[in-house]
């Protein structure tokens, strides 16, 4: 993808339903590694995007995700 295509790629929204929700970004490539971690408190949101460096995210704690595919809650 070109840089412009990455900029225009889809976003996801993560909303913390409790204090201490952890969001971890995982790298692309041969060896998947954690490259970024964020902590959210209840009610905080994070808008994230998959990029040329981020192929996946891991979420620990009660959270709600909004994507083009729908709404997902980690506690259900």
Tens digits of residue pLDDT in 44-76:
999 988 777 777 888 999 999 998 889 999 875
d(CA 54, CA 2): 15
pLDDT of residue 5: 62
Dump the DSSP string for 12-75: EEEEESSTTEEEEEEE-SSS--EEEEEEE-TT-EEEEE--SSEEEEEEESSEEEEETTEEEETT
- Which architecture characterizes domain 3-73 according to CATH? Sandwich (2.60)
Q: Percentage of residues in the chain with pLDDT exceeding 70?
A: 87
Residue 2 clears pLDDT 70, i.e. is over it: no
Report yes or no on whether pTM surpasses 0.95: no
């Amino acid at each position: 993808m070109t840089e412009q295509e990455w900029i225009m790629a889809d976003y996801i929204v993560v909303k913390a339903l409790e204090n201490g929700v952890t969001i971890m970004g995982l790298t692309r490539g041969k060896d998947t590694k954690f490259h970024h971690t964020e902590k959210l408190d209840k009610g905080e949101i994070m808008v994230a995007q998959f990029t040329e460096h981020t192929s996946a995210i891991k979420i620990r704690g009660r959270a709600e995700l909004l994507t083009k595919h729908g709404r997902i809650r980690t506690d259900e």
